Amino acid sequence: MDIATVAGLIGGMAALVYGIVSAKGSFGLFFDIPSLFITLGGSFSAVLASNPMQRITNIGKATRIAFFAPNNSPNEMIITLVSFSEKARREGLLALEDDLDELDDEFLRKGIQLVVDGTDPEMVRRIMETEVEQMIDRHAGMIKIYEDLASLAPGFGMIGTLIGLILMLVNLEDKSKIGPGMSAALITTLYGAIVANWFAIPMVSKLGMRNNQEVLMRMVMIEGTLSIQSGDNPRLVKDKLIAYLEPSEREAISNEVGD
């Protein structure tokens, strides 16, 4: 589980609760069922209307990725690719076919299979890069759902506030109802702001980060696969691939596979 995601959401909610408690406020003042229906119901309905159903049904998987980081380690992948390059140089490309069943990553398995089958290097690159482009498009669709929620929730919060103000103005002759009516009207704006800033926007950022991490992994796989196919020296393969890593991570790779 991604501790940062969980801690951030819990911390944000704790800050809101503490703010209410320290101001000696009552939680009952901040709970209003009609406001929840207007803000949440309206926002999710608009998100549903603006996205294809297939994308909506996959949102649970995307949300899970935000809370549970995929086991994508570029360090381990680079070590695997360097070992493949050593084997290919020693025994030939066909020897890699014996290792295909041990690869958990379908993308890398497909790339190595293309190499073993003798596919033209340019075609291998084109196929693998097309796969990456399609992956980015899928991820962008999932992220768009949260982007839509982040933009729509405050708007429906304002709609709820306007509804509340209209209902308050109907009873304007009763001055005792003006304060409570104004308070109830503003709750929907609060709900919209919370949904957008506490949940939706952080999800956009976290899923965007996850996408960048996976793209990095795919680029490492593409570069490694093509280097293996071209018969590059394992040391050169390592140098090519660690260029994708942060400087602080490169030393660990060098220690693992040697210079």
Note the pLDDT of residue 76.
86
Highest mean pLDDT among 97-111, 199-213, 237-251: 199-213
Note the pLDDT of residue 61.
86
Rounded to an integer, the average pLDDT of 166-195 is 79
How many Cα atoms within 13 Å fall on the side-chain side of residue 210? 25
As a whole number of angstroms, the distance between CA 224 and CA 88 comes to 12
User: Which tops the pLDDT comparison, 165 or 47?
Assistant: 47
Note the pLDDT of residue 53.
92
Enumerate the H helices of the chain as residue ranges.
Answer: 3-22, 33-36, 42-49, 53-57, 59-67, 74-91, 106-116, 121-170, 178-194, 201-229, 234-242, 247-257
Q: How confident is the model at residue 119 (pLDDT cuts 50, 70, 90)?
A: very high
Q: Are 164 and 188 in contact (CB under 8 A)?
A: yes
Note the pLDDT of residue 204.
95
